[in-house]
Amino acid sequence: MKELTDSPWFKFLTPAHRRAVDEHLLRDEATNKLIKSAEKLIDHLTKKAPGYNQKRSIRRKQKDMIIRLKVNHKWIRLQIADTKYSVSPVQKRINIVCYRHYVKANNGIGVCKEATIHYYKDGKWHVRSIKQSPSFQGVFFRVHRLDEAFSTGAPQTETSLEWLSKQREQLRSSTTDQLPYLLEESKRYFDSVNQFSIDPLIQNRLERLVEQASKISTDFDLLDYEEKHIVKRMFKEDIPKLLNTYLSLSLKNQLDQKENIFVTLSKMELTLLDYQNQLEKARVEKMNYLLKLQEIRYNRKQL
């Protein structure tokens, strides 16, 4: 099925608003700031939710962006746009419209009616879908939590876990071979995990894992095939599976397993530290080799 959807013929037949956006268009710092600002605004409104249905509208305008968030009895609508002062290489407008979960839902989660990005490139405007974009999964997760907060006053853990499982599956199926991009997707997943008020020690360990992995990203290709596979599997499969299973436990069992989770994550960090030391030795060996090579090339005998 994936080969079919990736084929040029299938893309040609798919309407523009349903084609997935190219992720590289969302990787610049300005767009990342735009998405993070939208997530913070949703979090802010979620904390202020009254616990019952109520129309609410909030707007944030900065020099480089405008964000509008509206909640009514049928929809949650989010609009994000660059201003003319944005330093993003691609000017963009983003529209997300989701049904309230009691109006139209899939597995207890409000169905997303629209999730599109309009961007200006090569002298014209284009439209693409962001429903499956890893960059926006944190936004969708927060919209879902906002929906719950305006209905019951508190997120329903069971439904939130279903959404987190969806994010885990998306992370596992990520096709990126570039470690920095994979770490960005992992950080978005960890942000969603933090919504469950996870223990600060475990949260800190997750942050350290991303930090340590970032240190080997520059020379990641110097690792052998098996070592690169271990790092990718760690962030795409092992950590998400571990966290999802942990969060599905009762509070009592989470407390019982907290130390084991911490130890497991610590062992993963030690693995990354070993790779860092290994890469540093490789750099020193390369430096010594280059010095010897230059010595041979440019050493002139005294006449």
Dist CA 129 CA 134 (whole Å) = 12
Cβ atoms of 139 and 42 within 8 Å: the answer is: yes
Q: Please, which residues have CB within 8 angstroms of residue 140's CB and are 6 or more apart in sequence?
A: 96, 98, 112, 115, 163
Of the candidates 98, 95, 143, 139, the residue with the CA atom closest to the CA atom of residue 119:
95
pLDDT tens sequence for the chain (303 residues): 545 555 565 555 677 878 889 888 898 999 999 999 999 999 999 888 888 888 999 999 999 999 999 999 999 999 999 999 999 999 999 999 999 999 998 877 899 999 999 999 888 999 999 998 888 988 998 898 899 889 876 656 656 777 788 788 878 877 777 898 889 889 888 888 887 778 889 999 999 999 999 999 989 988 999 999 999 999 999 999 999 999 989 888 999 999 999 999 999 999 999 999 999 998 999 999 999 999 888 887 644
- For the chain, how many residues are written? 303
- What angle (nearest 5°) sits at the alpha carbon of residue 272, between those of residues 268 and 277? 145
In the structure encoding, which two tokens stand for residue 21, read together?
Answer: 């956006």
In the structure encoding, which two tokens stand for residue 73, read together?
Answer: 């009895």
pTM for this one?
A: 0.72
Q: What is the 3-state secondary structure (H, E, C) of the chain?
A: CHHHHHCHHHHHHCCHHHCECCHHHHCCHHHHHHHHHHHHHHHHHHHCCCCCCCCEEEEEEECCEEEEEEECCCEEEEEEEECCCCCCCCEEEEEEEEECCCCCEECCEECEEEEEEEEEECCEEEEEECCCCHHHHHHHHHHHHHHHHCCCCCCCHHHHHHHHHHHHHHHHCCCCCCHHHHHHHHHHHHHHHHCCCCCHHHHHHHHHHHHHHHHCCCCHHHCCHHHHHHHHHHHHHHHHHHHHHHHCCCHHHHHHHHHHHHHHHHHHHHHHHHHHHHHHHHHHHHHHHHHHHHHHHHCCCCC
Residue spans per domain, the chain: 1-154, 156-303
- What angle (nearest 5°) sits at the alpha carbon of residue 175, between those of residues 172 and 178? 105
Q: What pLDDT score does 274 carry?
A: 96
Q: What pLDDT score does 2 carry?
A: 47
End-to-end distance of the chain based on CA atoms, in angstroms?
73
Dist CA 35 CA 136 (whole Å) = 7
